[in-house]
């Protein structure tokens, strides 16, 4: 016996569900949003550490500049590592 409601909840793949791998933002977009967060946290920690070193050792502005340079270097490393996964 056929169940009349068996196919009622199966939407057509063409109209309601995108192809597999195309749902939502996708892995790439999620990875790059995480990358942006990682860059922000890395820069904040290293620049903040540089400012603390400036205050502690009275090296202003050298601690800030070293922290900023290390933060930018780490950001580049993070970007290269993430982009390599998608090439």
pLDDT tens-place string over residues 29-60: 888 899 999 999 999 999 999 999 999 999 99
Measured between alpha carbons, how far is 34 from 31 in angstroms, rounded to an integer?
A: 5
* pTM score of the predicted model: 0.67
Q: What percent of the chain has pLDDT over 70?
A: 72
Measured between alpha carbons, how far is 36 from 28 in angstroms, rounded to an integer?
A: 12
Measured between alpha carbons, how far is 49 from 67 in angstroms, rounded to an integer?
A: 7
The answer to whether 78 and 39 are in contact (CB under 8 A) is: yes
Q: Where are the domains of the chain?
A: 32-85
The answer to whether 50 and 67 are in contact (CB under 8 A) is: yes
Measured between alpha carbons, how far is 87 from 85 in angstroms, rounded to an integer?
A: 6
């Amino acid at each position: 016996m056929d169940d009349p409601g068996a196919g009622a909840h199966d939407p057509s793949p063409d109209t309601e569900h995108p192809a597999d791998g195309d749902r939502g933002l996708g892995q790439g977009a999620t990875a790059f949003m995480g990358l942006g967060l990682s860059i922000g946290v890395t820069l904040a920690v290293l620049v903040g550490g540089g400012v603390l070193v400036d205050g502690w050792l009275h090296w202003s502005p050298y601690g800030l500049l070293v922290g900023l340079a290390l933060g930018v270097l780490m950001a580049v490393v993070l970007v290269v590592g993430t982009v390599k996964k998608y090439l």
